[in-house]
Structure formats: C-alpha cells, structure tokens
Amino acid sequence: AKARGKNTFHFFSQDLKDAAKDRLELENQLREAIREHQFMLYYQPKINLETQAIVGYEALIRWLRPDNSLIPPSRFIPVAESTGLIVKIGEWVIWEGCRFLARQRSRGLDVDLSINLSVRQFKDNKLAETVERILQRTGVEPRRIIFEITESMLMGDTDAAIHQLNQLKSLGVSLSIDDFGTGYSSLSYLKRFPVDELKIDRSFVQDIPGEQNDMDIVAAIIAMAQQMNLRVVAEGVETAEQAKFLKDHACFVVQGYYFSMPLAEQELGQLSFTVN
C-alpha cells in the first residue's frame, strides 16, 4: 500500500508540473493573442417577448487561434484573470463592443449591448476612466451599455464595490447582476448596490416548467425585481415552454439557444423570431 501511495504521489506531482507547464504555455499564447488580435466578439440576441424584436445583444468573447480553432472563454478567462491579462483583454472587449454598436447605429439599428466584466477589471480603479474615454471616442450613447457583474464581485469590500458602481453609473451606463440567484444576495443586501437589472441564471431556467422549486425561484426573482424597480432578463432559454413561462410571469426580455446561439457580427443580419 505504501509503494502504491508513493506512486500515486509521483503521478500527482507530475500532473501538477504538467498543469503548471500548460498554464505557462497558455499565458504566453494569450500574450501573443493580444498582440496579434486573435480575439473576436460573438453576439447573442436579447429578445423582447412582447414585440419579438431584438432589443440588444450580449457580447461573448472567443479566441480564434491561427489554426482556425475557436476557443471558448471557459478555457482561457480563468488564466487571463489570474495573470491579470484580463484587464487588457477586457478593455479590448469594451472597445470592440462600442465599435459594434456604432456600426449598428450607422445602419439605423438602435440596440443595447451587455458586456461582461471580470473581477480584476471591476477592481481596477481606472475602469470608469477607460470606459468614459471609449464612449467618447466611439460616440456611443452610454445608456446603450449594460455592464454585467456577478454577486461575488460585490462581496468583501462592499464600500469599494459601491464606489466603483457609482463611478460607472455616473457615466450613464447601466449595471446588471449576472447569474443572479447563484450567490448570496438578500433583499437588504441588494438594496445597497446601485444596479439596474437582474439576470436570472440559466440553472433556474433550464428545468422550467416542471421543476416546482425552480418555477418558484424564477417567479420570486421576477417579483423581487418588480418590487425593487429593477429590470429583469432571463438567460439560457432553450424551449418555447420556458419562454412562455417567463412571458406569463412578466419577464419579457430573454436570451438563449431557443432564439439564437451567440453569432459573429456578419451572421446577425438574417435573424428573425416568432414567439407564441
């Protein structure tokens, strides 16, 4: 048993070395990706269930490697975050998102854009300044931008979080709490933060209708949002039944595969929806 234990340890430490090596390699590739402009944004439509119109999009980053493979954010955001490279990448996302909005605008399309912020970006005390500069340079109206943050970013130093939220809000952009319901927000807690929107996490949407617990939670989040005068959006809508449940409960803005996958900008043109 002892020998086996040793062996196990040997393999384990080899695994750790491999993991560290992979990480370093990924970090170097990420630096190169920034230099060589290998990132692109995909856009997932947000649909208004009452009008069936596209009210906006969520920007979702992709990494297009020189070998033409498309790497999803789950594969590189964590390393970008832990190395701090996310701050540069995240700034590019804001630039590109605003340029996208400006192009949409020039085609007569007034839509909004949800942009995900990472922890490091949110903690950066230059963030509001950066956003302000980008808005000015691209001519995008601030009210067209919605920054998505998660509940966990509001934990810890809540004074600093509130300060950052106020800095952003003073620019005229709106703020949304992403993956809402998966964190620890209580009503009283939420009231302290100047946010505009709650985005119901996909995990609560995926088993409605059917799972009574989830139906209750979704209905409660929608009611809470109404009570607090917050907008509410549902993500991860994959079926007509889910869309109907949300509409019946007065959550009118939704996104999900049922309507559209996230798409490259040139693929957005021919989208149309019919919702019953």
Q: Shortest Cβ distance from residue 254 to Ca ion (Å)?
A: 12
Site for ligand C2E contains 91 (CB under 6 A):
no
Which residues, 6 or more positions from 179, have their beta carbon under 8 angstroms from its beta carbon? Answer: 150, 151, 199, 201, 202
Among 33, 47, 60, 200, contact with ligand C2E (rule: CB under 6 A): 60
Cis peptide before 209 (omega within 30 of 0): yes
Q: Shortest Cβ distance from residue 2 to ligand C2E (Å)?
A: 44
Q: Shortest Cβ distance from residue 165 to ligand C2E (Å)?
A: 17
Among 56, 85, 91, 116, contact with ligand C2E (rule: CB under 6 A): 116
Site for Ca ion contains 148 (CB under 5 A):
yes
Give residue 236's region: left, alpha or beta (phi > 0; psi -120 to 50). Answer: left
| Site pattern 167..186 for ligand C2E (x: CB under 6 A) | -----------xx-------
Reading the block at residue 195, the tokens are 């946010």
Smaller CB separation from Ca ion, 96 or 178: 178
Taking the CA atoms of the chain, what radius of gyration do you get in angstroms? 21
Percent helix, strand, coil in the chain, to 5, is 50, 20, 30
Residues 160-189 that bind Ca ion (CB under 5 A): 178-179
Residues 100-119 that bind Ca ion (CB under 5 A): 116
Instruction: From the list ligand C2E, Ca ion, none, pick the one residue 74 interacts with, judged by a Cβ distance below 5 to 8 Å according to partner type.
Output: ligand C2E
Site for ligand C2E contains 47 (CB under 6 A):
no
DSSP assignments along 108-142, one per residue: T---EEEEE--HHHHH-TTHHHHHHHHHHHHT--G
Count Cβ atoms within 10 A of the Cβ of residue 6 and give its class: 0-12 exposed, 13-18 middle, 19 or more buried. Answer: exposed
Q: Which residues bind ligand C2E (CB under 6 A)?
A: 44, 59-61, 72-74, 77, 90, 93, 116-118, 178-179, 202, 235-238, 256-257, 262
Footprint on this chain of Ca ion (rule: CB under 5 A): 116, 148, 178-179
